[in-house]
């Protein structure tokens, strides 16, 4: 609005400097006049016709009077604009200067916009260049790893000493692949057409099989195992091998493989792990045929081999951190652990699997002492976020899925009990005969324990037990 006032002021000031004078004449018995602003005007010379009602002088005098009145109005407006200029402290020269400054400002803004566009283009080009460089470096590392591997292979064939070049990876600079076999083989396949690995649950063999899976520690969990009475189990055929091969992993300077396994029974032979990764479970189980009658008898079947929770890291095992970065650590007299608190609610089985995703030694928390219970409660109460989440309770690894009312800790693959417990009054109560999971439930009573349905979604706590030093 200020720029409009200045422009209008300038126009009126310029107009006030012109001569204001009318011209008039008689044409076709009428008084004709023409007002010219900014020019001297006179009555037209050729207006010589006569008229009635006053003649030439009367008509021109009337017109002259009207023009004089109009001139007075314009002069008044010009004076008012001068007064406005004086109040604002703006002169005609300053308005010109402001107009010039505006033009310079617009030119400067345009220049800045052009520079910004150039900068954005440069940033995009730089990001593209950085990505290309990262890809080239990664390809270069892979080529070196491949060449080193090939060189060591050649040295081994020739009987020479292999290279002792360090193949370590910087701490934290690795990827992890985890297969929990929870209803999925994760791309692991059998390499033999007859002897197949299978997904098992609970105790597939009462005397030798695992009692539960390692991921969740519950009877509904899954693992991979071999059945010695399956495949080419026939006619005195011993030394049979069940091969389970992983998907291909990208080349890396080193790999670390960690997994849980069960090998138990009088007839157990061996479980081999090859570099691909390939698991080779060997058995001597077979059956015999009695005489010529259609009767068979099993031999050497008192065994079971199972695996679960296979971790593959593309680095050496020593570079894998023990505790997650966000964990809080408790150092006790008899035991030490680190804990991570997860506020996104999950069902119990999904919570147990999520803890396994943190690392090969991570599991849902097992609370075996008052010292540990107090530490966990204190950690929750010191955080506003954890306090808010804690109103819904926290899952632990405790459950009574095997025997109602007998709660076990199931973080190790073998269920166990501890002398310590902290049940709330009236708990566990197994409402609707469907509450098998132990929850740190009662926030107002220092998170005393209660039992809930395992399909309910709750926050959960993961634990890694540390060696006592």
Q: Which CATH number characterizes residue 253's domain?
A: 2.60.120.200
On whether both 336 and 425 belong to a single domain, the answer is yes
Please tell me which residue, 57 or 464, carries the higher pLDDT value: 464
Over the stretch 155-212, which tens digit does the pLDDT of each residue have?
Answer: 444 444 433 333 333 445 788 889 999 878 989 999 887 888 999 887 776 667 787 8
**Ranges 171-180, 238-247, 356-365: which has the least confidence:** 171-180
Give domain status of residue 122, yes or no: no
Give domain status of residue 21, yes or no: yes
Confidence bin at 451 (pLDDT 50/70/90): very high
The tokens for 175 are 């990827």
pLDDT attached to residue 112: 79
On whether both 400 and 275 belong to a single domain, the answer is no
Confidence bin at 348 (pLDDT 50/70/90): very high
pLDDT attached to residue 35: 54
Pick the closest to residue 283 from 231, 332, 248 (CA basis). Answer: 231
On whether both 333 and 273 belong to a single domain, the answer is no
End-to-end C-alpha distance for the chain, whole angstroms: 79
On whether both 437 and 356 belong to a single domain, the answer is yes
pTM: 0.57
On whether both 361 and 423 belong to a single domain, the answer is yes
Give domain status of residue 299, yes or no: yes
Please tell me which residue, 100 or 260, carries the higher pLDDT value: 260
- What distance in Å separates the CA atoms of residue 61 and residue 405, rounded to the nearest whole number? 122
On whether both 300 and 395 belong to a single domain, the answer is no
What is the rounded average pLDDT for all residues in the chain? 76
pLDDT attached to residue 294: 52
The tokens for 341 are 């608190």
pLDDT attached to residue 465: 92
Q: What is the count of structural domains for the chain?
A: 3
pLDDT attached to residue 421: 96
Select from 40, 74, 90 the last residue of a domain.
90
On whether both 348 and 243 belong to a single domain, the answer is no
Q: What is the 3-state secondary structure (H, E, C) of 68-88?
A: HHHHHHHHHHHHHHHHHHHHH
**2-16 helix and 55-88 helix, angle to the nearest 10 degrees:** 140
Over the stretch 57-70, which tens digit does the pLDDT of each residue have?
Answer: 555 566 566 667 77
Pick the closest to residue 454 from 429, 431, 436, 428 (CA basis). Answer: 436
Mean pLDDT of all residues in 125-151? 65
pLDDT attached to residue 345: 95
Select from 319, 348, 370 the last residue of a domain.
319
- What distance in Å separates the CA atoms of residue 184 and residue 188, rounded to the nearest whole number? 9
Pick the closest to residue 219 from 204, 232, 229 (CA basis). Answer: 204
CB atoms within 10 A of CB 113: 10
Confidence bin at 381 (pLDDT 50/70/90): very high
CB-count exposure of residue 164 (10 Å: 0-12, 13-18, 19+) = exposed
Q: Can you name the residues that pair with 311 across neighbouring β-strands?
A: 178, 258
On whether both 285 and 355 belong to a single domain, the answer is no
**Cβ within 8 Å of residue 96, ≥6 positions away:** 10
pLDDT attached to residue 11: 38
Please tell me which residue, 117 or 463, carries the higher pLDDT value: 463
Q: Can you name the residues that pair with 189 across neighbouring β-strands?
A: 245
Over the stretch 261-317, which tens digit does the pLDDT of each residue have?
Answer: 888 777 778 888 887 789 888 888 777 766 555 555 676 777 778 889 999 988 888
Give domain status of residue 76, yes or no: yes
On whether both 197 and 289 belong to a single domain, the answer is yes
- What distance in Å separates the CA atoms of residue 437 and residue 305, rounded to the nearest whole number? 28
- What distance in Å separates the CA atoms of residue 212 and residue 228, rounded to the nearest whole number? 19
DSSP 144: H
pLDDT attached to residue 136: 73
Whichever domain contains 357, its CATH number is 3.10.100.10
Over the stretch 1-10, which tens digit does the pLDDT of each residue have?
Answer: 343 333 333 3
Give domain status of residue 278, yes or no: yes
Give domain status of residue 206, yes or no: yes
Pick the closest to residue 62 from 38, 26, 17, 27 (CA basis). Answer: 26
Q: What percent of the chain has pLDDT over 70?
A: 68
On whether both 363 and 462 belong to a single domain, the answer is yes
- What distance in Å separates the CA atoms of residue 329 and residue 228, rounded to the nearest whole number? 44
pLDDT value at 18 more than 60: no
- What distance in Å separates the CA atoms of residue 454 and residue 164, rounded to the nearest whole number? 51
pLDDT attached to residue 344: 93
Give domain status of residue 430, yes or no: yes
On whether both 300 and 335 belong to a single domain, the answer is no
| Full residue range of the structural domain in which residue 299 is found | 176-319
Select from 289, 319, 349 the last residue of a domain.
319
On whether both 305 and 353 belong to a single domain, the answer is no
pLDDT attached to residue 346: 95
pLDDT value at 399 more than 80: yes
Give domain status of residue 150, yes or no: no
**Cβ within 8 Å of residue 280, ≥6 positions away:** 241, 242, 243, 244, 271, 272, 273, 274
Q: Which string of DSSP letters, residue by residue, matches 76-141? A: HHHHHHHHHHHHHT--HHHHHHHHHHHHHHHHHHHHHHHHHHHHHHHHHHHHHHHHHHHHHHHHHH
């Amino acid at each position: 609005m200020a720029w409009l006032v200045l422009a209008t002021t300038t126009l009126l000031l310029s107009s006030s400097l012109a001569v204001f004078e009318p011209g008039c004449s008689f044409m076709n018995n009428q008084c004709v006049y023409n007002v010219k602003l900014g020019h001297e005007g006179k009555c037209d010379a050729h207006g010589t016709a006569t008229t009635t009602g006053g003649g030439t002088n009367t008509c021109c005098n009337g017109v002259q009077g009207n023009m004089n009145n109009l001139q007075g109005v314009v002069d008044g407006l010009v004076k008012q604009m001068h007064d406005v200029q004086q109040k604002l402290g703006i002169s005609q020269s300053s308005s010109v200067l402001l107009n010039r400054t505006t033009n310079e400002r617009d030119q400067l803004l345009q220049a800045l916009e052009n520079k910004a566009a150039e900068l954005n283009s440069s940033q995009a080009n730089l990001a593209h260049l950085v990505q290309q460089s990262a890809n080239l470096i990664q390809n270069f590392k892979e080529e070196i790893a491949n060449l080193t591997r090939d060189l060591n292979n050649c040295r081994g064939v020739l009987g020479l000493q292999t290279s002792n070049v360090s193949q370590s990876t910087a701490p934290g600079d690795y990827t992890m692949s985890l297969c929990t076999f929870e209803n999925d083989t994760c791309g692991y396949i059998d390499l033999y057409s007859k002897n197949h690995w299978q997904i098992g649950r609970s105790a597939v063999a009462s005397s030798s099989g695992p009692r539960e899976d390692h991921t969740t520690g519950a009877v509904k969990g899954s693992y991979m195992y071999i059945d010695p009475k399956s495949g080419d189990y026939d006619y005195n055929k011993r030394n049979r091998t069940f091969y389970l091969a992983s998907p291909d992993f990208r080349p890396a300077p080193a790999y670390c493989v960690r997994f849980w396994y069960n090998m138990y029974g009088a007839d157990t032979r061996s479980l081999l792990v090859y570099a691909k990764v390939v698991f080779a479970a060997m058995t001597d189980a077979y059956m015999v045929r009695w005489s010529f009658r259609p009767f068979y008898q099993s031999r050497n079947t008192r065994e079971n081999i199972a695996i679960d929770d296979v971790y593959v890291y593309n680095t050496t095992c020593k570079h894998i951190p023990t505790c997650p970065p966000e964990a809080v650590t408790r150092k006790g007299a008899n035991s030490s652990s680190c804990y991570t608190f997860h506020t996104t609610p999950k069902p119990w089985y999904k919570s147990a699997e999520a803890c396994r995703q943190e690392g090969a030694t991570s599991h849902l928390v097992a609370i075996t002492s008052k010292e540990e219970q107090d530490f966990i409660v204190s950690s929750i109460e010191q955080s506003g976020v954890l306090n808010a989440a804690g109103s819904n309770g926290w899952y632990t690894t405790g459950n009574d899925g095997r025997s109602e009312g007998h709660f076990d800790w199931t973080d190790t693959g073998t269920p166990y009990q501890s002398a310590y417990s902290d049940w709330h009054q009236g708990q566990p109560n197994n409402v609707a005969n469907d509450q098998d999971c132990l929850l740190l439930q009662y926030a107002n009573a220092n998170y005393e324990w209660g039992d809930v349905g395992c399909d309910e979604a709750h926050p959960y706590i993961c634990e890694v037990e540390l060696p006592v030093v």
